[in-house]
Amino acid sequence: MTASVVVTGLGVTAPNGLGARDYWNATLAGKSAIGPLTHFDASPYPAKLAGEITGFTAEDHLPSRLMPQTDRVTRLSLVAADWALADAQVRPAELPEFDMGVSTASSAGGFEFSQRELKNLWSKGGQYVSAYQSFAWFYAVNTGQISIRNGMKGPSGVVVTDQSGGLDAVAQARRQIRKGTRLVVAGAVDALLCSWGWVGLHTSGRLSTAAEPTHAYLPFDDRADGHVAGEGGALLITESAESARARGAKVYGEIAGYAATFDGREPGLRKAVELALADARVLPSEVDVVFADAAADPELDRIEAETLVAVFGPRGVPVTAPKTMTGRLYAGGAALDLATAFLALEDGVIPPTVHIEAAERFGLDLVVSQPRPAALRTALVLARGHGGFNSAMVVRS
Amino acid sequence: MSQTFTLDDLKRILLEGSGAPEGTGLSGDVLDTEFSDIGYDSLALLETAGRVEREYGIELDEAVVGDASTPRAFLAAVSAHLMTPAA
C-alpha cells in the first residue's frame, strides 16, 4: 500500500531559532549560532565550540510535574512536539488515542540527567539517585513523554541510527501511517552538551578543535577538519493525506521517497539516493535542491560530492548545508534539515551554507553565503550516521 | 532533626522531588485522597520514599511504599519507622 503521507506541522528547537518561524528567519539571514560552549567549562577539552540553544526556559512551556523527571533533551522534544501540533492545528484530545503515534530518533537519550545521577551514585550512594533516572536516560524517553503528554497510544518507537536517525524516524512514521495510523509525531531532538556527553562526542575523532566559530565547520571546503556539535532538532506532524484533507489542514508537502543503506565494501550513500528517488518515482532532473549531510570530513565530503555528481551530473543540482549555522545536531540534524526543506519549498528559496569557500574540485553547485530564490517543488535530504548508516529522503510540495 | 513526619512534610517532599501535580492537587484536605487522584504515580511515590529515607535516616520496606495509596497511609508507614529506636 502506498498511501500518500504528508507533513502538516513543524516544531523546531534549533540553536539559531526557537520555533519554525524564528529558525527560518535566522537561517535565511545566515545567522550562525556556533560559539564558545557555555553550558559547562569546556576549557579542558580539545573541542570548545558548539551550537547551543540559548533562551530556552522549559518552565515557561511545561508543567512543574515534568521538571524533576526530564532531561533537557526531553524538554526540548516536548516543546517541539507542542509547537508542531499547534502548527498543524491538531488538538490531540479531540482525536482517538490509538490513531496517533510517536516516532523519534535519539543518539544518546538524556545524558545530562544521567551524568548528575551517576555522580550522585558514586559520590553519595544509591539512595541519592533519582527514581526518574529509571527512564530519563533512555533513548525512547522522548517518544514516551510525548506519547503520555498528548495521549497518543498508537504505534510508537525510537530509532537509534546516529545521525541518520532524523530521517529514519520519519520513514518509520510513514510506514505506520501506511498501515493505518492516522497521525504520527515524527523526527528527532538531541542534546548532548554536558561534560559527559562531550567526552563521548570526542571519541568520533570528528570534532573540530578550531577556536574561531567561522572556521570550525567547513564542509566541502579545502580547510574541512571536522564538525561542531550542536543541540536541538525538529519534530514534524506526519499524517495520511486523507486525514489532512478531511480536516482541511495546511500541507507543507509529501514524504515522497526514502531509502536507507549501510556501507559495505563501497560507501552506500549513492545507493540510498538512487533508491529514494526510485521510491518517489522522481528523476534526478526533477530534484530542485539537495540538503547535504555535509560531514566536513575530507573523505566523507568526497564520497558525498562524488555521489551527487554521479547522480545529478557536475554542478547538476543546487546543494546546501544550513547546518553550518547550527552545528551537527546528531539525530536532530536530519530532522531539522527535513523541516528546513519544507520551509524552503514553501518560500521558494534555498537557505545558504555559511562560512565556507567551496572547493572547486568537488564539482558541486553549493549555495553559499546568501539564500538563493528558486522554483522549488522537490527536495532531497541526506544523512549519514557514524559506523555506516546512510539515509535519503525525497520530499515534494 | 525533628522526628515527626507530618502532612506538610509529605507535601514538601512530594513537591521537591516530583513537582506540582496536575490532578486534584495538594491543597485542601488530601489525607484520604488517592495519590493517583492527587496526580502522583507510583514512581513519584518511590522518589518520595527515597527522599524520606535520606532525610529521616530510616529504611522503608518496599511493600510499604506500594501499599500506601493515600497520604494518611504513607504518614502512618513513616511514623511507624520513626518510633522504632535507632540501633
Determine whether the interchain pair A69/B18 forms a contact, defined as Cβ–Cβ distance below 8 Å: yes
The 8-class DSSP code of residue A216 comes to S
Q: Which is nearest to A361 in space by CA: A392, A315, A321?
A: A315
Runs of H (alpha helix) within A137-240: 141-150, 165-178, 195-202
Does residue B64 have a pLDDT over 90?
A: no
C-alpha neighbours within 13 Å on the C-beta side of residue A33: 27
| Closest CA in chain A for residue B19 | A65
Determine whether the interchain pair B43/A130 forms a contact, defined as Cβ–Cβ distance below 8 Å: no
> What is residue B87's predicted lDDT score, i.e. its pLDDT?
46
What pLDDT, in 10s, does the model give residues A162-206? 999 999 999 999 999 999 999 999 999 999 999 999 999 999 999
What pLDDT, in 10s, does the model give residues A101-146? 999 999 989 999 999 999 999 999 999 999 999 999 999 999 999 9
> What is residue A3's predicted lDDT score, i.e. its pLDDT?
78
**Nine cell digits for residue A281:** 518515482
Neighbours of A152 (CB within 10 A): 25
Sign of CA dihedral A79, A80, A85, A88: positive
> What is residue B22's predicted lDDT score, i.e. its pLDDT?
81
Determine whether the interchain pair B19/A68 forms a contact, defined as Cβ–Cβ distance below 8 Å: yes
Neighbours of B37 (CB within 10 A): 14
Dihedral of the CA atoms B26, B31, B34, B40 (nearest 10)?
A: 40
Return the SS3 of A187. strand
Query: Cα(B85)–Cα(B3) distance, rounded to whole angstroms?
Result: 11
**Nine cell digits for residue A37:** 560552549
Residues of A with CB under 8 A from a CB of B: 63-69, 127-132, 134
Q: Which is nearest to A364 in space by CA: A299, A286, A297, A311?
A: A311
User: To the nearest 5 percent, what fractions of chain A are helix, strand and coil?
Assistant: 40, 25, 40
Query: Cα(B51)–Cα(B35) distance, rounded to whole angstroms?
Result: 17
Does residue A1 have a pLDDT over 50?
A: no
Q: Which is nearest to A104 in space by CA: A134, A80, A69?
A: A80
What pLDDT, in 10s, does the model give residues A312-346? 999 999 999 999 999 999 999 999 999 999 999 99
Does residue A258 have a pLDDT over 60?
A: yes
**Contact indicator for A201, A352 with CB cutoff of 8 Å:** no
Q: What percent of chain A has pLDDT over 90?
A: 98
Query: Cα(B20)–Cα(A65) distance, rounded to whole angstroms?
Result: 5
At A303, give phi and psi (nearest 5°).
-60, -45
User: What residue has cell string 512543574?
Assistant: A64
> What is residue B67's predicted lDDT score, i.e. its pLDDT?
86
The predicted model gives A371-382 an average pLDDT of: 98
| Closest CA in chain B for residue A134 | B43
Residue type, A179: K
Query: Cα(A273)–Cα(A337) distance, rounded to whole angstroms?
Result: 16
Burial of A362 (0-12, 13-18, 19+ CB in 10 A): buried
> What is residue B84's predicted lDDT score, i.e. its pLDDT?
60
Does residue A259 have a pLDDT over 90?
A: yes
**Across chain A, where does the E strand assignment appear?**
5-14, 17-18, 34-36, 49-51, 100-105, 157-159, 183-190, 229-230, 232-240, 253-262, 289-291, 318-320, 349-350, 365-366, 372-373, 378-385, 389-396
Set of chain A residues whose Cβ sits within 8 Å of the Cβ of B19:
63-69
How close A41 gets to chain B, by Cα (Å)?
A: 28
| Closest CA in chain B for residue A67 | B19
Residues 6+ apart with CB under 8 A from A49: A34, A35, A36, A37, A208, A210, A211, A213, A216, A228, A327
Q: Which is nearest to A235 in space by CA: A8, A392, A32?
A: A8
Return the SS3 of B75. helix
Set of chain A residues whose Cβ sits within 8 Å of the Cβ of B43:
69, 131-132, 134
Residues 6+ apart with CB under 8 A from A325: A15, A16, A26, A27, A30, A31, A32, A33, A34, A51, A354
- What distances in angstroms separate CA A281 from CA A256, A277, A284, A380, one per listed residue? 8, 6, 10, 13
Residue type, A239: E
Query: What is the per-residue burial (b if ≥16 Cβ within 10 Å, else e) of B74-85?
Result: bbebbeebeeee
What pLDDT, in 10s, does the model give residues B21-34? 987 788 888 999 99
Query: Cα(A11)–Cα(A199) distance, rounded to whole angstroms?
Result: 29
Burial of A302 (0-12, 13-18, 19+ CB in 10 A): middle
What pLDDT, in 10s, does the model give residues A4-48? 999 999 999 999 999 999 999 999 999 999 999 999 999 999 999
At A294, give phi and psi (nearest 5°).
55, 60
When CB atoms are compared, the residue of A65, A130, A131 closest to B19 is A65
| pLDDT tier at B65, thresholds 50, 70, 90 | confident
